[in-house]
Structure formats: structure tokens, C-alpha cells
Chain A
Amino acid sequence: MSEDYVLQMKNIEKEYYGNKVLKEVNLSVRKGEIHGLIGENGAGKSTLMNILFGMPVIHSTGGFSGQVYLNGEQVDIKSPFEAMNKGIGMVHQEFMLIPDFTVVENIKINREITQDNIVSKLLKSNRLKILNTAAMAKDARNALHRVGLTIDEWITIAGLPVGHMQFIEIAREIDKTGLKLLVFDEPTAVLTESEADNLISTMKRLAESGIAILFITHRLSEVMQVADNITVLRDGELAATKKREETNVAELAEIMVGRKIDLKSKTEQEKECKEKEAILKISNLQVDMPGEKVSRVNLEICKGEIFGIGGLAGQGKVGIANGVMGLYPTKGEIIFKGEKLELNNTKNSLNKGLAFVSEDRRGVGLLLDSSIELNIVITTMQTKDKFLKRFGFINQLDSNEIREYANRAIKELDIRCTKPQQLTRQLSGGNQQKVCVARALALEPEVLFVSEPTRGIDVGAKKLVLDLLLKLNKELGMTIIMTSSELVELRSICDRIAIIFRGEVAGILKASNSDREFGLMMAGEYQKFSSEEAG
């Protein structure tokens, strides 16, 4: 029975620095089967694939436990090269193609067909053989034909449309002799709809020819279109393995997101925005942030609420706060307290009463080699001329005032440090985050943007940071806009949550909405699904 399986992964477990990212994961793929693998960001899909390919990151962090079988035979893959030799291929999300090489060269790279010449014969060296371009071109054309691409095989990659590059990658993989298993890592993320359809039919064709396919994606409808079996990962655990016939998009969405969430604390707080004044109105916002492009966002934030912005990575949720603060080129209209906000002017945004805790704590949020106290006051000093002593034309730091303020902030936010002069580099992630929040609070903002406040900090500190945000909201009436990849977090403190999909607002939900609705919306299936349901 197990002979049927091309790939079996059994009881896979993996730890990163004591942090379990995979727990007893099992995955089996049959010959000629298309197997869907879905899960949120951080569910463990990439780690699982890294294990399959023997990536160095796995071995340099202590390896993994569990067994991997190829064609029923236990294997121990130590490097991506070995994986390739054993017949596992991968189509990457970011294209692994050399732009200045031709299609043929890219397809046959490191597997060139060669023929002898005098020198190579004399020296008995394989490396000095000459390329047999005609045979290579023939192979390449053959592979291109199999993926349904009819381009000239001698043009260079640079300048080809994105969709073509994807197919060339596939062609390269299927050109490898003995290919048994092909992994597609979110192949449709960058494709247009027709290209995606084309890809899906190619996948089906490949499967019919006997290659097993592992299809990793966020898009539930595509999985439902092609996959024979579907495995769902959640928080590093195997949430479910389903046959396609036995499930539907809604159920998959629910399994993907589903977590027990304590909603009691929040339900009484849900307010209707209409009764309240809108403090921030964002219309047609476009932000050109690499990797987190915002294409058209309209939002209205009420005074005194905690507003959540969620969605999968790369869909543009992070770009919104960065855009409002003027850190990336921004277009559109932002009305703050009834006044039009000047765009692309960070100083002005800060002066008007907006503050921002960046998602990139160590990169943007902190001066790592400066003291805690300087970190806390520096933005306020620069934008509002506070914490300075004046002597005519000359001004100097007011060290006493800074020390006093820093000590107060350290006490209030419970920043664990030896002294205010300590360098922020030496603090733990949670305490660094508190320094970032303290810096934003020193500005005495009316609206506070917080992006990924709990990224990379441990569980206990996470709760402290979230409690702090709740406290600020309740006691100071501060409006907080929190962007986070962690839905649980958003749902535990936010009044309303906007889900961003492909740079636009897919919808606004309340914390009490069901897992299913959140899952569908994040996967961009909400509209389709609800209209189907209605129809």
C-alpha cells in the first residue's frame, strides 16, 4: 500500500530555539496526485518544505525529528542538491531565474548537454566539454511544449512577462529526468487570473503524466479546483487532511483560522461608529511600499476605538500605516479631524497628532546603539522642540527633564532595564517594543498606529503589550489603529477589523464574526462565497 506513495512525511517535528514550529505533522502524496497544502502565514508550510528539501537552515538549527519516505524508502535529505537528485522539484514564489540568460540556458542550467572536443578528451575533463546547443534547445522546446508555452527558446528572460517566467520555472523542473514530485510554492500569487487558469490546467496535465504535485497556496478556490486531497496546517499542527469531494471552501477557511478565542472581554465594548465622530477618513489611499503595496483603501476610523487591520502577508495591510505617516510614496486623500492631511510629510503627520510604532522594530523603530531615554524623547524633541534648554541662538539637551520623563515612562510602561542610559540593543524584544510605544506616547498623539506589536516577542510579553494598548485606549481615550498578522490578537482587543486583500479592503468584521468569515475574507473568497450563498 505504501508503495503507492511518492512522498510520505511522518511525525515531523521541528524546533527553532526552543520554539516548536511543527508538531507531529504527517503528509502523504500519491503518484499522479495533486495535493493541496494550505495554512496561514507562520502555520509551518515553509518549514515543512525546508525540511523536505534539506535546506541548511534546518540543519544549522538542530535538525528535525520524524521520517521522510520517497517511494516507500526512508531517505535523509541533507541538501537541496540531494533533493533534486532524488527527483524532487520546486517552483518558487520568487523566480529563481537568471535574467540575462536565455530560456534554454535557464532551463538547462547545471544540467547542460555536452560533447567532447580535443582538449577535453586530452585532459579527460568533463568541465572542458563543449555545449551541445542543438540538443539543449530541443529538450527545452520539449519542456516548454509540455507546459503549453510557445515562446522562442533563445530569447533572454529579462523583459518576459511574469506569467511566462513562472512557466519557464516549471519547464526547468519537468525537464529534469526522473522528476517524481513537484512542489509549487504559492505559484498563483503573482499571476493574473487567466495565467492562473492556464497554470492550473498545466498542473492537471503534469499530474496525469504521473508526477505527484504538492500545491501550496492561500487561495482556497484554486485548491478546490485542482487538488485531490488537501492538508491544512495551523500553528504548526496538522489541522486536517480532507478529500476534495468531502469538503468546501467555507469549511477549509474555518479549519485554517479556527482557534478558541476569548471574546467575553470585548463584546460589551463593540460600538457603532455612526454615533461617534470619525477622527480619520482615508479615501483612495495608494501606497507604494515594496512588498506591501496598497492599491485602493477607503477607511473611516472613529474617535476612541481600537481599529484592527489584518490580512495575509504581502496583501498591503502594513502599507496603510506607513503611507499615512508618509514613509512611502502615497497618493489619495486623508482627512484627520476634519482637516486635510498633507501627504508624504512625516514631520507634519507627527506634529498633527499622529504617531507610529513601526512593524520593523529593530530597523525603523529603534536607535539600537543609543540609550533608552534618548530613544524615548528623540522624536518629540525633533518635531516639537521639547526637552531642550535655550541659550539665545543655541539650544542644548535638557538632560534633567529627559531623565525625569524617561524614568516616568519606564515606570509606567514597566520597561525592564538596569537604567535609563542602557542601550536599547541590550533589551529583550518585549521591552524594546515598550520603548517604541513610549517614544510614540511622548508625542502625546491622538491617533496611534501600531504595526505588528507582538512580532518576535515571547508569549508573556505579548499579553503585556496588548494590555498596554487596551489601557491607553481606555484611560486616555486614545484612538489606536493596530496592524497585525495575528488574527487572534486583533480579535482579542479590536472593536472592528478590516481585512486587506490585494491592496484593498476586503471587508470590515467584528471580533465576534465567525472563523469562517475571517478565513474566507483573508483568502479573498468572501464576496464570491456570500454571493454564491445568496444566489
Chain B
Amino acid sequence: MNDTLSKIINRIGLPRLIISLLFLAICITAVVIKLPFGMIVSDIIRRFGMFGVLSLAMVPAIECGTGPNFALPIGIICGLLGSLIAIEFSLTSPLLGYGFISSILISLPLAILSGWLYGMMLNKIKGSEMLVATYTGFSIVSFLQIGWVTLPFSHPEMRWPIGKGLRVTVSLASTFGEVLNRLWGFSIGRVYIPTGLLLFFLGCCGLVWLFSRSKAGIEMSTAGANPKFAAASGINVDKNRVVGTILSTILGAVGVITYSLSFGFLQLYLAPLYMAFPAVAAVLIGGASTSKITISHVIIGTFLFQGLLTVALPVANQMFPEGNLSEVLRMIVQNGIILYALTKMGGES
């Protein structure tokens, strides 16, 4: 009896089990204290689609063996730059998805270039990728603080009305804000389904899945799973690590564009600083480890993590009206999960 129980726990995974139970408990609490449940469910679904691609960016990074991509801000910066350039040059016709498609297209070369450079750097510091990645992400965000002030953008919607530099948040209301959410969107009762957003996320998952089943994808995951084995099969390990890093950076760029689209604003300055963490935490809850990940980990993890945070926020506010405890709770959950996952690193042999 004990055996079967521990087997079941093993299969589901302890973190996934705890978070699922917590999620359920908070959902029940939300119903009990009579929060507007329709709105909360809509919110869960929207945030799921919104963060999905960012979490998906962890897949190539983990598969190629560089571990969770804590340097996701590199890709995020590329995505933000792409969006800004698209708006600056008014590439926002309906044909270009009101700027969504053009933003992605512009950010692609940026992401490829920076992913390539960053990947080469990762090959020089094998073994301590995660720490280096975290600080690379921090540095690049800090560096762009100067960029946001000095880059010669002139579109009135993104500049401060007086003074120099870009605004902290740039509204996308007149461009591609929420276009995917509204695409084929519909309501069931009080629950709104952002069909376009979900389809886009699942489409990205599909593309990554197809890649993982191609020769190049298998080559990459082999290089990540066992570099010595890969070398003995004639696979260039370093090259594949660079490829994985580039793909992760591209997904980071696409991810932030999707995120901003659904959020309705581009967030500049310090906003990208901690964006890698929820993405890492999500896939780790989903059942991924720092060396193994599947698409299902991304989907389950993003849903659980974002779902938990979405429900926990109003529940915590209701229970402790003073101060913003919900934000504290979010940090505890998010960092706790990352901490837990890092202690598990390399634990199985």
C-alpha cells in the first residue's frame, strides 16, 4: 500500500503534487469567500496563454544541456526592441497583425545574433551556466536602462511628453494590444476564451515538438543529455549548445511580444529583470528538471503556476486586506519553487 502510494507520488512528482493541492485548496477558498469566479477563470486562461511562450523558451535551453535559461532577458530585450522598432516605423497595418508579426520578424535577427554570441559564451563556462546566466540577464537589463533613455525613438506614443527617453510602459492600445486575445475570442457564461492567444501558444508548442522529433532536434537533445555519448556518435556538442541557446532566445523574444500583446503594454526599464524566474519556476513545477524537459511540462507547469498566482492574489487580498501580501506570497511561491528545483539538480543518477 505504502509502495503504491510512493509510486504514485513519484510519478506525479512531489512539487507538482504540492502545487496542485495548494491550487485546489485556494480555488475552493475562492469559491467559499465568494469571489467572482468567472472573472478569475478568465484571468487564469489569459495568463496561461500570456506566459506560455516564455516558459516554452526553457525547452531548447534545457534540451541542449545549458540548463534553464535564466538569461531569458536577452531574448526579452530583443523582443521589446523589435516591437519598438515596428511601432516607430508604423509597421502596424492589419496585414502585419497590427504590428505583431512585424515585431516578431524584426526581433528575429536580433535574437539570433545575441543568442549566438551568448551561446558561445556559455561554451566557455560549462558547469556554471545557471549562475552566469542569471547575472548575464541582470547585466543586459541594466545595460538597456541607458538604451531606453538614449535610443533615438521618436514616436509620440512611446516618448515621455517632456524630457528625454522612452516611457516606462508603452501602451499598445492603438497597435497590436490584445489582437490575439480578440481573434476568434468568445465567452462561455462569464468566462472569456482568448482563442487566438491559446492557438498561438499551442502552435508554438507544436513547432518546438516537431523540431524535437527532427534529426537536428534529436542531435541537440543528445548533446544535452550526454555530451560524451554525443561526441562518440560524431555530434558536435558545442555547436548544438549554441543552436539551443539561439532557439531559446528567439522564443524569449516571441514570448515577450505575446506577453506584451496580451498585457496591453510594453514594459521597459526594470520590468524584464525578473521575467526569467516565473518561466523557470513554471516548467520546474510542471515536472521538468534542470536536465530534462518535455512540452507537457511546459503546458502543465504554466497552467499550475499562473493559475495558482492568479487565484492566490485576490484570495490573499480578501483574507489580509492590509498591505500587499499577495505580492509577497507570489515571491515566496515563485522563489520557493526555484529553490526546491535547484536542490534537486543532478539528484537522480
Asked if A518 is at the interface (CB within 8 A of a chain B CB), the reply is no
Asked if B228 is at the interface (CB within 8 A of a chain A CB), the reply is yes
CB pair A325–B210 under 8 Å, yes or no, is no
Instruction: Determine the distance from Cα of A346 to Cα of B232 in the docked complex, in whole angstroms.
Output: 7
A289-305 interface (Cβ within 8 A of B): none
* B229 contact set on A, CB distance < 8 A: 364-367
Chain B positions near chain A (C-beta within 8 angstroms): 210, 213-215, 218-219, 222, 225-226, 228-229, 231-235, 292
Asked if A416 is at the interface (CB within 8 A of a chain B CB), the reply is no
Measured CB to CB, the nearest residue on chain B to A358 is B232
Given A385-B215, A388-B215 in contact, is the A364-B292 Cβ separation under 8 Å? Answer: no
Top 7 A-B pairs, shortest CB-CB distance: A347-B234, A379-B233, A346-B234, A364-B228, A397-B213, A350-B234, A396-B213
* B219 contact set on A, CB distance < 8 A: 382
Q: List 13 A-B contacts (CB under 8 A).
A: A327-B231, A327-B232, A356-B232, A365-B232, A366-B226, A369-B225, A370-B225, A378-B218, A378-B222, A382-B222, A388-B215, A394-B210, A396-B210
Instruction: Determine the distance from Cα of A260 to Cα of B274 in the docked complex, in whole angstroms.
Output: 69
* B233 contact set on A, CB distance < 8 A: 346, 350, 378-379, 382-383
* B218 contact set on A, CB distance < 8 A: 374, 378, 381-382, 397
Q: Is the interface of B mostly helix, strand, loop or mixed?
A: helix
Given A369-B225, A382-B222 in contact, is the A364-B214 Cβ separation under 8 Å? Answer: no
Instruction: Determine the distance from Cα of A378 to Cα of B231 in the docked complex, in whole angstroms.
Output: 12
CB pair B234–A382 under 8 Å, yes or no, is yes
- Choose among A349, A351, A396 the residue that contacts B214 (Cβ–Cβ < 8 A): A396
Instruction: Determine the distance from Cα of A347 to Cα of B234 in the docked complex, in whole angstroms.
Output: 4
Instruction: Determine the distance from Cα of A363 to Cα of B292 in the docked complex, in whole angstroms.
Output: 17
* B228 contact set on A, CB distance < 8 A: 360, 363-364
* B234 contact set on A, CB distance < 8 A: 345-351, 379, 382-383
Q: How large is the interface on A (under 10, 10 to 19, 20 to 34, 35 or more residues)?
A: 20 to 34
Measured CB to CB, the nearest residue on chain B to A443 is B233
CB pair A364–B232 under 8 Å, yes or no, is yes
How distant is B62 from chain A, measured CB to nearest CB, in Å? 13
How distant is A379 from chain B, measured CB to nearest CB, in Å? 4
How distant is A352 from chain B, measured CB to nearest CB, in Å? 11
How distant is B50 from chain A, measured CB to nearest CB, in Å? 29
Chain A positions near chain B (C-beta within 8 angstroms): 325, 327, 345-351, 356, 358, 360, 363-370, 374, 378-379, 381-383, 385, 388, 394-397
* A358 contact set on B, CB distance < 8 A: 232
How distant is A102 from chain B, measured CB to nearest CB, in Å? 32
How distant is A215 from chain B, measured CB to nearest CB, in Å? 37
How distant is A495 from chain B, measured CB to nearest CB, in Å? 26
How distant is B209 from chain A, measured CB to nearest CB, in Å? 10
Instruction: Determine the distance from Cα of A367 to Cα of B219 in the docked complex, in whole angstroms.
Output: 12
A364-B226, A381-B215, A397-B218 given; 11 more Cβ-contact pairs under 8 Å:
A327-B231, A327-B232, A346-B233, A347-B234, A349-B234, A350-B234, A369-B292, A382-B218, A382-B234, A383-B234, A385-B215
Given A382-B215, A385-B215 in contact, is the A346-B231 Cβ separation under 8 Å? Answer: yes
How distant is A444 from chain B, measured CB to nearest CB, in Å? 15
* A395 contact set on B, CB distance < 8 A: 214-215
Measured CB to CB, the nearest residue on chain A to B216 is A395
* B215 contact set on A, CB distance < 8 A: 381-382, 385, 388, 395
How distant is A228 from chain B, measured CB to nearest CB, in Å? 46
Instruction: Determine the distance from Cα of A367 to Cα of B222 in the docked complex, in whole angstroms.
Output: 8
A349, A366, A396 interface centre (most CB from chain B within 10 Å)? A396
* A365 contact set on B, CB distance < 8 A: 229, 232
CB pair B225–A382 under 8 Å, yes or no, is no
How distant is B89 from chain A, measured CB to nearest CB, in Å? 31
* A378 contact set on B, CB distance < 8 A: 218, 222, 233
Given A356-B232, A365-B229 in contact, is the A394-B214 Cβ separation under 8 Å? Answer: yes
Measured CB to CB, the nearest residue on chain B to A388 is B215
* B231 contact set on A, CB distance < 8 A: 327, 346
A327, A346, A350, A360 interface centre (most CB from chain B within 10 Å)? A346
How distant is B113 from chain A, measured CB to nearest CB, in Å? 22
* A388 contact set on B, CB distance < 8 A: 215
* A356 contact set on B, CB distance < 8 A: 232
Instruction: Determine the distance from Cα of A379 to Cα of B235 in the docked complex, in whole angstroms.
Output: 9
How distant is B220 from chain A, measured CB to nearest CB, in Å? 11
Instruction: Determine the distance from Cα of A370 to Cα of B213 in the docked complex, in whole angstroms.
Output: 13
How distant is B224 from chain A, measured CB to nearest CB, in Å? 10
* B232 contact set on A, CB distance < 8 A: 325, 327, 346, 356, 358, 364-365, 379
How distant is A197 from chain B, measured CB to nearest CB, in Å? 40
* A368 contact set on B, CB distance < 8 A: 226
Instruction: Determine the distance from Cα of A365 to Cα of B292 in the docked complex, in whole angstroms.
Output: 19
* A346 contact set on B, CB distance < 8 A: 231-234
How distant is A371 from chain B, measured CB to nearest CB, in Å? 12
Measured CB to CB, the nearest residue on chain B to A346 is B234
Measured CB to CB, the nearest residue on chain B to A393 is B214
Instruction: Determine the distance from Cα of A370 to Cα of B232 in the docked complex, in whole angstroms.
Output: 16
* A379 contact set on B, CB distance < 8 A: 232-234
Instruction: Determine the distance from Cα of A351 to Cα of B233 in the docked complex, in whole angstroms.
Output: 10
How distant is A351 from chain B, measured CB to nearest CB, in Å? 8
Instruction: Determine the distance from Cα of A325 to Cα of B235 in the docked complex, in whole angstroms.
Output: 13
How distant is B10 from chain A, measured CB to nearest CB, in Å? 14
How distant is A326 from chain B, measured CB to nearest CB, in Å? 8
Instruction: Determine the distance from Cα of A345 to Cα of B233 in the docked complex, in whole angstroms.
Output: 10
Instruction: Determine the distance from Cα of A219 to Cα of B226 in the docked complex, in whole angstroms.
Output: 38
* A385 contact set on B, CB distance < 8 A: 215
* A350 contact set on B, CB distance < 8 A: 233-234
* A347 contact set on B, CB distance < 8 A: 234-235
How distant is B272 from chain A, measured CB to nearest CB, in Å? 33
* A397 contact set on B, CB distance < 8 A: 213-214, 218
CB pair A367–B226 under 8 Å, yes or no, is yes
Measured CB to CB, the nearest residue on chain A to B232 is A364
Instruction: Determine the distance from Cα of A11 to Cα of B275 in the docked complex, in whole angstroms.
Output: 66
How distant is B61 from chain A, measured CB to nearest CB, in Å? 17
How distant is A82 from chain B, measured CB to nearest CB, in Å? 32
How distant is B344 from chain A, measured CB to nearest CB, in Å? 15
Measured CB to CB, the nearest residue on chain A to B219 is A382
How distant is B132 from chain A, measured CB to nearest CB, in Å? 25
How distant is A313 from chain B, measured CB to nearest CB, in Å? 20
Measured CB to CB, the nearest residue on chain A to B226 is A367
Measured CB to CB, the nearest residue on chain A to B234 is A347
Measured CB to CB, the nearest residue on chain A to B233 is A379
Measured CB to CB, the nearest residue on chain B to A368 is B226
Instruction: Determine the distance from Cα of A381 to Cα of B219 in the docked complex, in whole angstroms.
Output: 9
* A325 contact set on B, CB distance < 8 A: 232
Measured CB to CB, the nearest residue on chain A to B291 is A369
* A374 contact set on B, CB distance < 8 A: 218
Instruction: Determine the distance from Cα of A346 to Cα of B226 in the docked complex, in whole angstroms.
Output: 16
How distant is B221 from chain A, measured CB to nearest CB, in Å? 8
How distant is B230 from chain A, measured CB to nearest CB, in Å? 9
How distant is B219 from chain A, measured CB to nearest CB, in Å? 6
Measured CB to CB, the nearest residue on chain A to B289 is A369
A349, A367, A385 interface centre (most CB from chain B within 10 Å)? A367
Instruction: Determine the distance from Cα of A350 to Cα of B229 in the docked complex, in whole angstroms.
Output: 13
Instruction: Determine the distance from Cα of A374 to Cα of B235 in the docked complex, in whole angstroms.
Output: 15
How distant is A438 from chain B, measured CB to nearest CB, in Å? 14
Measured CB to CB, the nearest residue on chain A to B236 is A347
* B226 contact set on A, CB distance < 8 A: 363-364, 366-368
How distant is B293 from chain A, measured CB to nearest CB, in Å? 12
Instruction: Determine the distance from Cα of A363 to Cα of B234 in the docked complex, in whole angstroms.
Output: 16
How distant is B128 from chain A, measured CB to nearest CB, in Å? 21
